[in-house]
Structure 1
Amino acid sequence: MAKTGKTPYLEPMTVLTVHLATPRGFCAGVDRAIQIVERALELYGAPVYVRHEIVHNKHVVDRLKAMGAVFVKELDQCPPDRPVVFSAHGVPKSVPAEAQSRQMFYLDATCPLVSKVHVEAERHFIEGSEILLIGHAGHPEVIGTMGQLPDGAVTLIETVADAQNYVARDPENVAFVTQTTLSVDDTADIVAALRARFPSIKLPHKEDICYATTNRQDAVKAVAADCGLMLIIGSAKSSNSQRLVEVALKAGTPAAYLVDDASHVDWTWFEGVTSVGVSAGASAPENLISDLIAAISARYETEVIESSGVRETVTFKLPRVLTDA
């Protein structure tokens, strides 16, 4: 097999099976957040300011920039007379408080399932419980959740070791919540460690890891063992996308990579591979998946098999100020 650069030239009869995981790509929370920015631009004109990336995907952010969205790190970079949107990951309470003090018009695009975690954490705080948050340090969702309560009210638990080493002031009055985009299996191990140490620990009324994260991980598990290679489309900043790579490897695929889009694929990964799995994180647009399939098909004779996973029908309403206008 001769090669030019990184693109392999294959024998005419070489067939590559592509297992397309279902569901994949956009979830309802991401779709809602993007629509909020689009609708704000339509109603109020450009520029509309967005605090942090609305979702963790460069292609989404660049498209919204082209429409007139301006992405900033903090509110002091926004003029007080233009709309500002808070990202889908959620924000500390100090952010809307600052916006109100400056009399800014703001739209909160926090995913409703993240808001549910915020409400749970506040309920535990009111009840006087010690609150543990299972999540990843520095992630915007974790910053937002911890920022719902006074400093020191929430302790971050990242690993099983953290759970085993945590010393409670009152072992009978501990509660936990979780980041919504974690590995289901890894989180189960941490929860098991916490329950072993604190049998009366208060659990979420309903699983905090969101339906979309769970469904996408299950879909990857369903195809990974049949694939010599797994490609996940998503940003390195995206927690749920990173977890899909980890899930694929644990489920038995020998190699798995996270790529922003088809242009980031190293075609040497395909050498000796007869089947490849494809999925995408919850903030990756469907067109990136189609482009990847097209790029594979341009180099291989392909058979695309779409898995029969969960068909998602969840939708979240836009803020009323946008729908009533």
Structure 2
Amino acid sequence: MMLPEPRRRPGPRPALTVLLAAPRGFCAGVDRAIRIVEEALKRHGAPVYVRHEIVHNRFVVEGLAAQGAVFVEELDEIPDDGRPVVFSAHGVPRSVPDEAMRRRMFTLDATCPLVTKVHREAERHHARGRHILLIGHAGHPEVVGTMGQLPPGAATLVQDAEEARTVAPPAGLPLAWTSQTTLSVDDTAEVVAILAARFPGIAGPAKEDICYATSNRQAAVKGIVARGAEVVIVVGAPNSSNSVRLAEVARRAGARDAVLVQRGAELDPEALAGCATLGLTAGASAPESLVREVLDRLRESFEVTVEDVVVAEERIAFRLPPALAAE
């Protein structure tokens, strides 16, 4: 896709301070998932099949497709030709690897290890006879994957505080809660508090389920708003849960507006007229190149000064599956 040529305003451009949130962009789980597809293509050539978008960013998906990745929604779209099949970072129901094994497919699991942790946690609660209240968004692939680790009826979805106040789990069973990894930290804390008040003794995870990257990126957004960001731009896809949550967090933290864009060409600088201090971040599945596009777009209309706002440093890295480990 060709980007439009930069358009410079005639005359002096207004000054704009951009507070650049850190951490932002790719997390360790996203980086690992993309590397799995790239390494599979390098070792085995094209095509490499990927069930669902490997991460929720169409530019990442299009880039991998250009290298030979073929994205499908279900295994029945994949021929029995022995080619590698990658499961996305969001995780899959247990039925998917079971079907792949039945068909003797060569599979590579790109599920984020922190999502896998939630799967194992849900299984342990179920094994102990607990009914699980899963905090998450209906239809999100991660929620579908987590609920798919359990027998039908073993978990009940709780999407928000309102549902937490009214949910009616099966009577007579001990309860446990777990959550999607990409939720709002504050919203989840509210839901958990309601569940704990309604169901004393409900078990929770030994360590919170919302992943470090989600927590850090939300804290960074609060940091740039606290530093005076009037508007926050979030680079990310509309189907990316963690990106949408960042925009919500910005508004709740006090920004007068938050704008979700997928790349620089989508940004209308005219909509920022009168804004002197802008916040900029990116969801965990958005590459840094798209952040740079947004900065370039802003420079077409403003005299931009960039200031980094760092709230945490991330040094976590996840290993590739054994089948792709360095030989």
The two structures have a TM-score, normalised by structure 2, of 0.95
Q: Does 1:217 align with 2:222?
A: no
Q: Does 1:115 align with 2:122?
A: no
Percent of residue pairs identical: 55
Task: Give the structure 2 partner of residue 3 of structure 1.
Answer: none
Confirm or deny: 8 A CA contact 1:90 1:111 kept in the other structure. yes
Task: Give the structure 1 partner of residue 164 of structure 2.
Answer: 163
Letter in 1 for 2:117: K
- What's the RMSD between the two structures over aligned residues? 1.3
Task: Give the structure 2 partner of residue 284 of structure 1.
Answer: 286
Task: Give the structure 1 partner of residue 29 of structure 2.
Answer: 29
The CA deviation at 1:184 is: 0.3
Task: Give per-residue Cα distances to partners, 1:273-315, cap 9 Å, x unaligned.
Answer: 1111000000000111111112112221111001122110000
The two structures have a TM-score, normalised by structure 1, of 0.96
Confirm or deny: 8 A CA contact 1:21 1:277 kept in the other structure. yes
Letter in 2 for 1:63: G
The CA deviation at 1:169 is: 3.2
Q: Does 1:252 align with 2:254?
A: yes
Once residues 215 and 137 of structure 1 are traced to their aligned partners in structure 2, the CA distance between those partners, rounded to angstroms, is 24
Paired positions, count: 319
Confirm or deny: 8 A CA contact 1:113 1:210 kept in the other structure. yes
Once residues 320 and 13 of structure 1 are traced to their aligned partners in structure 2, the CA distance between those partners, rounded to angstroms, is 54
Would you identify which runs of 4 or more consecutive aligned residues in structure 1 move more than 4 Å?
A: none
Q: Which runs of 5+ in 1 are unaligned?
A: 1-6
- Aligned pairs (5 A) from 1:57-206: 57-80=57-80, 81-170=82-171, 173-206=174-207
Task: Give the structure 1 partner of residue 265 of structure 2.
Answer: 263
Task: Give the structure 1 partner of residue 3 of structure 2.
Answer: none
Task: Give the structure 2 partner of residue 302 of structure 1.
Answer: 304
Once residues 210 and 10 of structure 2 are traced to their aligned partners in structure 1, the CA distance between those partners, rounded to angstroms, is 42
The CA deviation at 1:173 is: 1.1
Once residues 13 and 325 of structure 2 are traced to their aligned partners in structure 1, the CA distance between those partners, rounded to angstroms, is 54
Task: Give the structure 2 partner of residue 40 of structure 1.
Answer: 40
Task: Give the structure 2 partner of residue 229 of structure 1.
Answer: 231
Task: Give per-residue Cα distances to partners, 1:140-165, cap 9 Å, x unaligned.
Answer: 00000000011111100001121111
Task: Give per-residue Cα distances to partners, 1:19-55, cap 9 Å, x unaligned.
Answer: 0000000000000000000000011110000000000
Once residues 40 and 119 of structure 1 are traced to their aligned partners in structure 2, the CA distance between those partners, rounded to angstroms, is 26
Other structure's SS at 1:299 match = coil
Letter in 1 for 2:111: T
Task: Give per-residue Cα distances to partners, 1:194-251, cap 9 Å, x unaligned.
Answer: 0001120101110000000000000000012411211000000100000000000001
The CA deviation at 1:172 is: 6.8
Once residues 40 and 272 of structure 1 are traced to their aligned partners in structure 2, the CA distance between those partners, rounded to angstroms, is 49
Confirm or deny: 8 A CA contact 2:100 2:107 kept in the other structure. yes
